[in-house]
Structure 1
Amino acid sequence: MPRSRVAALLTALLTVLLPLSGCTVVMEGVPAAGAVEHRGPAGAVPAGLETFYSQPLTWQDCRPLIHDDQSKATFGNRAARCARLNVPLDYADPGGRAITIGLLRIPATGERKGSLVINPGGPGVSGMVSAASLAKDYSRTQLGVSYDLVGFDPRGIGVSEPEIRCLTDAEADAERLEPAEETVAEVEAENKDFAAKCAERSGGAEVLANMGTRDVVRDMDVLRSALGEEKLTYLGYSYGTRIGTAYAEAFTGNVRAMVLDGAVDPLEDPVQQAIGQAKGFDQALDAFLAQCRGCAVADEAELNKLIEDMEDKPLAVGSRKLSASDVVTGIAAALYDDQLWSVLQQALDSLVDDDGTMMLLLADLYIGRDQNGEYSNTQDALIAVRCVDEPRITDRAEVERVTAEVAEATKGSFIAGTEPPLAALDVCAFWPAPNTAEPRQPQVDGLPQVLVISTTGDPATPYQAGVGLAKALSARLLTYDAVQHTVFLQGEKCVDDVGIAYLLDLELPAEDLTCEG
């Protein structure tokens, strides 16, 4: 969750807690609603995809595309223009079904030199919302003077159609209240049912088979051409670094520049990632507790006891209930950035007094539940992408071995919980579509040098993952010494100066460097 999503989360919190006056950014040079631009094709065009690579884009007012609280808070920006990009559902059959990708653009404020395409990660997070959230600060930079900022909703996510959808709103509410103590058979039955619902409600196995990173990077190359860019200039946060890495391998010659912030190591498997995240969140929790003065929860042992007490008895919050898993989710959401730590302290202090209102709100906002009880498809999409992006485990002996490894490595972590995990087949073991990627060394011979940014106290994508990605791509590494998830274009001058100079003029420091938070 980059700072742009933290900003969206803060905006959503304020929308609920405080009355907001309307505030809209007005900028010069914004294309009129309905303006048609035909800038493609540009650069290399794969055979059979000429129609997609040369398509015009019709930029319109974004407000008709508002569909949830976050888009409501951001799409009203008058500078923003939105469009839809047509791409094949299956690139092996470009003459078959076409689907659409949602786009949002913040235009350059001066003489335009090109487009900066961004992805905020997740997977499952809206790039359109992230671009709109960054708009005000981005437009004040020299980068914003020269480059349009273009966010896209990856296939199946947000505005893009068809959408990935697995659970109804009522089912999602019920799942959050399910007791932790279940049998292996019960867990596997639920996982099998979830996978079947995803296929039924998302348009079938063919749709799910083409929702992974392999296909997102192909969409991004279509976008590059439609924008009129011979080479791609890209900013990826978190999982967006995986998209950047996959694009660099698939379209090495089409890369102009990349900033990859909050890295996913291409050589790590899901087990290593899960262990690294658990340790990363514990590190961030320790930092939060260390600076907490007068907090009702003084240490991790007290926090784990508080969560454990709620496992059998969820706390009533109005007409709803706050579960132990909601508490873990709410805490994790606030640990992404120290801007949210004061909110977390308030939520924990209230929870000790049997008031779970703030904690439930944090969990809702992170999961994507709005005030009307409607869910975005962020969590459904995260699972769907993961199940086609990563190798799955279907052998029970391997499941038992991996479960024991994770349990031992994360023992005591507030995210892991107090009960040992069950050695059950996960959702991906029942997924109706094959996986299309696996951890490996990316083949990127000829790739221009790119910039990887990694934060020492990053809870979600631990620092060493950035070190690993920089090594895999022979990239320049910028270390940021702080506790947060991602940093570029978020007001840290040392980091921003390096990244902006690189994206503008392809200038990188002569060696790796560190910025202090």
Structure 2
Amino acid sequence: MPNPSQSRAAAFTVTAVLLSCVLAGCSDGPKDGDLTAQKLSWKDCPAPSESEGGGSAPSPLPGGAQWQCATMKAPLDWSAPKGDTIDIALIRARASGDPGRRIGSLVFNFGGPGGSGVTTLPAFGGDYAKLRTRYDLVSFDPRGVGRSDGVKCEDDSQLDAYFQQDAIPDDDAQRKSLVDNTKSFNADCEKNSGRTIPHVRTTDAARDMDLMRQVLGDDKLHYFGISYGTELGGVYAHLFPKNVGRAVFDGVVDPTQDPEQGALGQARGFQLALDNFAEDCTSKADPCPIGDTPQDVKDRIAKFLTGLESKPIPGVFPRELTQTAATNGIAQALYSKDFWEYLTEGLDQAYSGDGKELMVLSDSMNGRSEDGQYSNLTAANVSINCADEKPRYTVADVEARLPEFRAASPLFGDYLAWGMLSCTDWAVPGAADHPDVSAAGAAPILVVGNTGDPATPYEGAKKMVEALGKGVGVELTYKGQGHGAYDSGNKCVHNAVDGYLLNGTVPHAGTVCT
């Protein structure tokens, strides 16, 4: 993002840092470079920053408990722990029960990568009321996310154009445009956040969590990881197996897959979710407005998306609903069965020429608010993934794999295959083909897989259990729909997770919840 005046920009940055300390509560400075000795200054939370998605300050919890925010300092470069520091934004709600029965802090990561824990935890805080009886609920913006030195790539108008591009190219000109736009986006990330992007690997965030554990005063890290948060938790367990307390992984990433395998797994997962959605819509007593049979529903969606390639329809003014935006919106709605009714409404309206609802779903996926401001979700997601993932795919790589992706999902195959180009010309080399989560000697980790999960397919839970090592991972299966299991409200899942986190009762391996 160009600055008309470097001195003005520098003055604004200093002012913003000072204000954030006043509002959010910066930690007392570490003594003699020992960051474990810092004291957090907890204060009322400010409204979320633009990079966190904007909006209002978090509302009190039922009963009136206030959310509190603070800032922890961590090494910018963990290989030079006494060098420059980075600020990590934290949020907490104090335990509500008998202080004598308090276990400690329960740290949440809700995934992405790139999601702001500071904004997400309050949104779902009521769901964890039972856990709060014995834990302080804690979450954070991982480095590169939100207020934790959030990565900046492009501005709002540039991002509008970026997300309107054709991400499902059909000819050489469209392929060249996709590659050029990707390179331009990635170059802007380096230009605007060159200090940060070398230091946003998952291993860096895991080390931040161990520092957080110590600063919060806990002997063990009690942890609830969801989606990418399961990968982060697995990496933490690998690096610090003796420091693992009671931990739950929900919506589990397969840690054995490289990016191509992960994308292919998602193609299968979203196709399964689409199949289930179409079956659900046409099996009800009331007629399904978007098709007479499951196959008819899917055929009509495919025909509609093909038509958008040459003739977009009005979306959220002044933008049009393109093939890419519609595909993105459909994928967003498949993350949760709670969204299926909105997908039905959105498709029904779009077939009549109104693409607004599908575009709102797509905007949600991309971190765009109603006022046109973007969080840094996409910038952080790309930065963390590209810092973690060693492979760099080319157009030729994608073209060679398209038949397999199309076989996995006629609807989402091309979209997810071309997404493998996201790290083209990234400034920082990727760390590995896949994360190491082997954690011999760690306490039991409850690994919850959902058979209908589109984003982290069910098979990943078993792979995580195997990779953690014998005696560590304990698998629980939920036969349901949507991304993750705990937020489904299923009583069996809640009893198992709550029983472990609150009482230390490990469910029998292989437990199935329906």
Into which bin does the TM-score normalised by the smaller protein fall? 0.7 to 0.9
Change (3 A) 1:403 1:513: farther
Q: Post-superposition shift, 1:72?
A: 2.3
**Cα distance between partner residues in 2 of 1:382 and 1:66:** 17
SS in 1 for 2:73: strand
- Structure 1 partner of 2:410: 413
**Cα distance between partner residues in 1 of 2:306 and 2:313:** 12
| Aligned AA (2:228) | Y
Mapped pair 1:465 → 2:445? no
Mapped pair 1:199 → 2:187? no
- Structure 1 partner of 2:396: 400
Q: Post-superposition shift, 1:389?
A: 0.7
| Aligned AA (2:272) | Q
| Aligned AA (2:266) | Q
- Structure 2 partner of 1:281: 270
Q: Post-superposition shift, 1:427?
A: 3.8
SS in 1 for 2:71: strand
- Structure 1 partner of 2:284: none
**Cα distance between partner residues in 2 of 1:187 and 1:355:** 27
- Structure 1 partner of 2:288: 294
SS in 2 for 1:172: helix
Change (3 A) 1:70 1:339: farther
Q: Structure 1 residues 63-72 or 90-99, which shifts more? A: 63-72
- Structure 2 partner of 1:443: 438
TM-score by length of 1: 0.85
| Aligned AA (2:498) | I
Q: Post-superposition shift, 1:509?
A: 2.2
**Cα distance between partner residues in 1 of 2:154 and 2:25:** 37
Q: Post-superposition shift, 1:167?
A: 1.5
Aligned with 1:246 (options 208, 212, 235): 235
Is this contact kept in 2: 1:116–1:150, CA < 8 A?
Answer: yes
Q: Please list every run of 5 or more consecutive structure 1 residues that lacks an aligned counterpart in the other structure.
A: 1-32, 42-47
Change (3 A) 1:235 1:225: same
Is this contact kept in 2: 1:194–1:427, CA < 8 A?
Answer: no
**Cα distance between partner residues in 2 of 1:509 and 1:328:** 39
**Cα distance between partner residues in 2 of 1:34 and 1:186:** 42
- Structure 1 partner of 2:356: 357
**How many aligned residue pairs are there?**
467
Change (3 A) 1:468 1:322: same
Mapped pair 1:146 → 2:134? yes
Deviations 1:201-243 (A, max 9, x none): 11x1x42111110100011111111110011000100100010
Q: Please list every run of 5 or more consecutive structure 2 residues that lacks an aligned counterpart in the other structure.
A: 1-22, 282-286
Is this contact kept in 1: 2:33–2:82, CA < 8 A?
Answer: no
**Cα distance between partner residues in 2 of 1:465 and 1:375:** 31
Mapped pair 1:453 → 2:448? yes
- Structure 2 partner of 1:22: none
SS in 2 for 1:456: strand
Is this contact kept in 1: 2:48–2:119, CA < 8 A?
Answer: no
Deviations 1:250-301 (A, max 9, x none): 1111111210111111111111111110111111111111111422244212
Aligned with 2:74 (options 84, 87, 105): 87
- Structure 1 partner of 2:35: 52
SS in 2 for 1:99: strand
**Cα distance between partner residues in 2 of 1:145 and 1:250:** 29
- Structure 2 partner of 1:210: 199
Is this contact kept in 2: 1:214–1:436, CA < 8 A?
Answer: no
Deviations 1:100-147 (A, max 9, x none): 1111101111123211000000101111122112212312x1x21110
- Structure 2 partner of 1:114: 104
Is this contact kept in 2: 1:452–1:477, CA < 8 A?
Answer: yes
Aligned with 1:133 (options 98, 117, 123): 123
**Cα distance between partner residues in 1 of 2:177 and 2:91:** 43
Deviations 1:181-206 (A, max 9, x none): 4354443333222221101111x1x4
SS in 2 for 1:58: coil
Q: Post-superposition shift, 1:34?
A: 8.3
SS in 1 for 2:219: coil
Deviations 1:61-92 (A, max 9, x none): 11344537955256233621111111111011
* Matches for 1:268-417 after TM superposition, within 5 Å: 268-292=257-281, 293-297=287-291, 298-317=296-315, 318-393=317-392, 400-401=396-397, 403-411=399-407, 412-417=409-414
**Cα distance between partner residues in 2 of 1:390 and 1:479:** 28
Aligned CA RMSD, in angstroms, stands at 2.6
SS in 1 for 2:413: coil
- Structure 2 partner of 1:13: none
Is this contact kept in 2: 1:49–1:94, CA < 8 A?
Answer: no
Is this contact kept in 2: 1:392–1:429, CA < 8 A?
Answer: no
- Structure 2 partner of 1:72: 55
Q: Post-superposition shift, 1:339?
A: 0.7
Is this contact kept in 2: 1:74–1:133, CA < 8 A?
Answer: no
Q: Post-superposition shift, 1:36?
A: 9.5
SS in 1 for 2:196: helix
Deviations 1:424-459 (A, max 9, x none): 982423111121233265332211121100000100
- Structure 2 partner of 1:17: none
- Structure 2 partner of 1:176: 163
Q: Post-superposition shift, 1:370?
A: 1.0
**Cα distance between partner residues in 2 of 1:36 and 1:96:** 18
**Cα distance between partner residues in 1 of 2:32 and 2:451:** 42
TM-score by length of 2: 0.85
Q: Post-superposition shift, 1:352?
A: 0.5
Deviations 1:352-410 (A, max 9, x none): 0101111111111221111221111101111111101111236x6xx635542343233
Deviations 1:30-84 (A, max 9, x none): xxx988999x99xxxxxx9962112111111113445379552562336211111
Q: Post-superposition shift, 1:324?
A: 1.0
| Aligned AA (1:430) | D
* Matches for 1:259-274 after TM superposition, within 5 Å: 259-274=248-263
Is this contact kept in 2: 1:479–1:514, CA < 8 A?
Answer: yes
Change (3 A) 1:352 1:144: same
**Cα distance between partner residues in 2 of 1:272 and 1:508:** 31
SS in 1 for 2:88: strand
| Aligned AA (2:450) | T
SS in 2 for 1:219: helix
Change (3 A) 1:225 1:440: closer
